[in-house]
Copies of this chain bind each other. A is one copy, B any other.
Amino acid sequence: MTKQRIDFQPVGRTISVDKDTSILEASRSAGVGLSAICGGETGCGSCRVRLSREAAVSPANALECDTLTSDELENGYRLACQATVLGDLSVDIPPESLTAAQRTQVEGDEHSFELVPPVISYTLDLVKADREDLQSDWERLNEALIASGMSKPEPGQLCMIQQLPAILRNNGWRVQVGLRGDTIVTISAPEIPLLGLAVDIGTTKVAGYLMDMKTGKALAMQGEMNPQIAYGEDIMARITYLMKQTSGQNELQQAILTTLNRMVSELCQSASDKNDEGAAPQIYTPQQVVEIVVVGNTAMHHVFLGLPVSYLGVAPYIAAASASMDIPARELGLEVSPGAMVHLLPNIAGFIGGDHVSMLLATEVNSKSGNSIFLDIGTNTEVTLATKGRKISCSTASGPAFEGAHIRDGMRAADGAIERVRIIDNRVEYQTISEEKPVGICGSGILDAIAQFKEAGILNFRGGFETDHPLVRKGENGLEVVIASGDSTRHGHDIVLTRKDVSEIQLAKGAIRAGIELLLKEAGISADELDQVIIAGAFGSFIDINSAMTIGMFPSLPPDRFRQVGNAAGVGAKQALLSTVKRTEASEIAQSVEYLELAHHPDFTNEFAAAMRF
């Protein structure tokens, strides 16, 4: 079969595929971060691409004609999930369809803590073997370790013994050994720094941190999109995708592992580059990475480990495993030191994962006095209430509206997204990311807009628009408010918020608020007794707290009781990487949390209905 050449612009990647491959599949193979919120299932329209008029593709099908406006079709817009390749092709991906452009948050508030690294390195001088001393290399090393006061070590991997003879003879019988408890996890030439990698696998974003295991120093950090987005924007879409696969192959697992392998190599490169400016140049390589900590929600945890997600996807949502685990990196195909172990923080329940535990660890939940709420806002929002020695957690399906999904002109927090909105004298003012011409509106912008609508009297408590307000107009699909008019936007169309958009946000903020309220009820305290509300995650860090209180997503409290801590899950992962004491603490947190299941909670429906009001 002859291959067709597909050229993706502006990313500049090219790939050859079989005829009849969909453009979405081609983009996945090419590693292009093309958005596909519904995973190619329902025509959500997020994978819009633009083709030239004479492009060799299948004609627009019924789904495309339904999803795209006649204007868009006229201008060459197509759904990448539907259009299939008939010949060589150039594909133009508009910014709002490109996932990779999204800002990825990797930094979070740090606390100091004591280093208690799981892997400790020792440099040993062995006695050279000769005719009078015929002991094998491995036993020679063991004896030297025992002589230094350690117990008899176990070989972490066979390859350590395989490499030992050459290392000894190439370094004058001087050798560096990395011990993880009683297990030798690395054997190398002396003076090679041992590295660690902390990873936070979010549904949307992946953050990686390269650390020096001895000094605890951060050497490099990197954030990027989770490549699994190509298989569905939210967790359920990905679980559904996996459940439909008949082959044993797990493409989603492969996708994240490939990304991590690339990431660790880029992190090492960037750490080596930085280092060049200093006094003694230091080269860092993935083979020096001897320990990895991974945090993620339960689904990301399962996909990363290749655990079946089938039972996570159906009631009663049972996880295959929850406790913390140590898995050889090699078993997973991670291209780091062959003896490296991957430590996974424990999950709390089917929908409360190690990333939330990591956030609770980083924000020092155990040392909080008074009443505190901990929030991790995403497509699922995890909420924990710490009060009087108890920790109660729930997970609530806030949906992807804050990520811009299911919002007519919604987009993620990428360049050109409207991120702040104010209504002044019945005029809508906005600010975009990178101050580029607006392309769409992202979560924090939507939140602001709705809060402003409420204050400007556009919105009633049910979320309906006041028809006689000057900013409200009748659009194609009912009432809407123009946020940016076509003459100022990049694509020349108006950016609006519709009544339906407001409903999406209502569901999202209602779910979060209901979660908070049910936890307070469970603990028998009222909202104004809360001393602290700690908000983690990219979205949570960018929102305007006052807007969130105005629309009722959070209870009304003095603003100084809120704290936006950035990527706390990433901070917790770094702590767990560098301290076994922190790992123990994480396991204690996971075990001591009481899980409150909302799905079947008798009060959920009422609380949810109440929480949807503006």
A residues lining the B interface (CB < 8 Å): 129-131, 134-139, 142, 155, 157-158, 161-162, 164-166, 169, 305-308, 310-311, 315-323, 325, 327, 331-332, 347, 349-350, 595, 597, 600
One of B134, B308, B350 near A349 (C-beta < 8 A): B134
One of B135, B139, B316 near A134 (C-beta < 8 A): B316
B134 touches A595 (CB 8 A): yes
CB neighbours of A306 from chain B (8 A): 158, 162
B308 touches A165 (CB 8 A): yes
A236 vs B602: C-alpha distance in the bound complex, in angstroms?
78
A164 vs B308: C-alpha distance in the bound complex, in angstroms?
9
Tell me whether A131 and B325 are in contact in the complex, defined as CB-CB below 8 angstroms, given that A162-B305, A305-B158 are known contacts. no
Tell me, rounded to whole Å, the shortest Cβ–Cβ distance linking A321 to chain B.
4
Tell me, rounded to whole Å, the shortest Cβ–Cβ distance linking A144 to chain B.
14
A331 touches B139 (CB 8 A): no
Q: Which 4 A-B pairs have the closest CB atoms?
A: A138-B321, A136-B319, A136-B322, A131-B316
Q: Which residue on chain B has the smallest CB distance to residue A319? A: B136
CB neighbours of A131 from chain B (8 A): 315-316, 597, 600
CB neighbours of A327 from chain B (8 A): 158
A339 vs B325: C-alpha distance in the bound complex, in angstroms?
16
Tell me, rounded to whole Å, the shortest Cβ–Cβ distance linking A368 to chain B.
26
The oligomer's copy count stands at: 2
A321 touches B129 (CB 8 A): no
Tell me, rounded to whole Å, the shortest Cβ–Cβ distance linking A129 to chain B.
5
A49 vs B138: C-alpha distance in the bound complex, in angstroms?
44
Tell me whether A139 and B321 are in contact in the complex, defined as CB-CB below 8 angstroms, given that A130-B316, A134-B595 are known contacts. yes
A137 vs B595: C-alpha distance in the bound complex, in angstroms?
17
Q: Which residue on chain B has the smallest CB distance to residue A347? A: B136
Q: Which residue on chain B has the smallest CB distance to residue A327? A: B158
A349 vs B133: C-alpha distance in the bound complex, in angstroms?
11
A315 vs B319: C-alpha distance in the bound complex, in angstroms?
57
Q: Which residue on chain B has the smallest CB distance to residue A141? A: B321
Tell me whether A325 and B155 are in contact in the complex, defined as CB-CB below 8 angstroms, given that A162-B307, A311-B165 are known contacts. yes
B137 touches A331 (CB 8 A): no
Tell me, rounded to whole Å, the shortest Cβ–Cβ distance linking A342 to chain B.
10
CB neighbours of A323 from chain B (8 A): 136, 138-139, 142
Task: Identify 8 new A-B residue pairs, CB closer than 8 A, beyond the known A134-B597, A161-B325.
Answer: A134-B317, A134-B349, A134-B350, A136-B318, A136-B320, A162-B305, A162-B308, A164-B321
A322 touches B158 (CB 8 A): no
Tell me, rounded to whole Å, the shortest Cβ–Cβ distance linking A173 to chain B.
12
One of B137, B310, B322 near A321 (C-beta < 8 A): B137
CB neighbours of A332 from chain B (8 A): 158
One of B136, B161, B165, B349 near A305 (C-beta < 8 A): B161
A165 touches B316 (CB 8 A): no
Tell me, rounded to whole Å, the shortest Cβ–Cβ distance linking A343 to chain B.
13
A581 vs B380: C-alpha distance in the bound complex, in angstroms?
54
A320 touches B162 (CB 8 A): yes
Tell me, rounded to whole Å, the shortest Cβ–Cβ distance linking A445 to chain B.
37
Tell me, rounded to whole Å, the shortest Cβ–Cβ distance linking A37 to chain B.
28
CB neighbours of A316 from chain B (8 A): 129-131, 134
CB neighbours of A137 from chain B (8 A): 311, 318-321
A142 vs B308: C-alpha distance in the bound complex, in angstroms?
18
Tell me, rounded to whole Å, the shortest Cβ–Cβ distance linking A54 to chain B.
42
B308 touches A166 (CB 8 A): yes
Q: Which of A142, A157, A322 has the most CB of B within 10 A?
A: A322
A/B interface sample: 10 pairs, CB < 8 A? A129-B318, A131-B597, A134-B349, A137-B319, A138-B320, A138-B321, A158-B332, A161-B320, A162-B306, A165-B318
A320 vs B320: C-alpha distance in the bound complex, in angstroms?
40
A311 vs B158: C-alpha distance in the bound complex, in angstroms?
18
A137 vs B318: C-alpha distance in the bound complex, in angstroms?
7
CB neighbours of A129 from chain B (8 A): 316, 318
Tell me, rounded to whole Å, the shortest Cβ–Cβ distance linking A201 to chain B.
16
A161 touches B315 (CB 8 A): no
A164 vs B597: C-alpha distance in the bound complex, in angstroms?
24
Q: Which of A138, A316, A320, A321 has the most CB of B within 10 A?
A: A321
A331 touches B158 (CB 8 A): yes
Q: Which residue on chain B has the smallest CB distance to residue A332? A: B158
CB neighbours of A166 from chain B (8 A): 308
CB neighbours of A157 from chain B (8 A): 331
CB neighbours of A308 from chain B (8 A): 162, 165-166
CB neighbours of A597 from chain B (8 A): 131, 134
Tell me, rounded to whole Å, the shortest Cβ–Cβ distance linking A539 to chain B.
27
One of B165, B310, B317, B321 near A320 (C-beta < 8 A): B165
A600 vs B130: C-alpha distance in the bound complex, in angstroms?
13
A136 touches B321 (CB 8 A): yes
A165 vs B136: C-alpha distance in the bound complex, in angstroms?
44
Q: Which residue on chain B has the smallest CB distance to residue A169? A: B311
CB neighbours of A130 from chain B (8 A): 316
One of B169, B311, B321 near A161 (C-beta < 8 A): B321
CB neighbours of A134 from chain B (8 A): 316-318, 349-350, 595, 597
A161 vs B306: C-alpha distance in the bound complex, in angstroms?
9
A306 vs B157: C-alpha distance in the bound complex, in angstroms?
12
CB neighbours of A161 from chain B (8 A): 305, 307, 320-321, 325
A320 vs B310: C-alpha distance in the bound complex, in angstroms?
46
Q: Which residue on chain B has the smallest CB distance to residue A595? A: B134
A169 vs B316: C-alpha distance in the bound complex, in angstroms?
13
B139 touches A322 (CB 8 A): yes
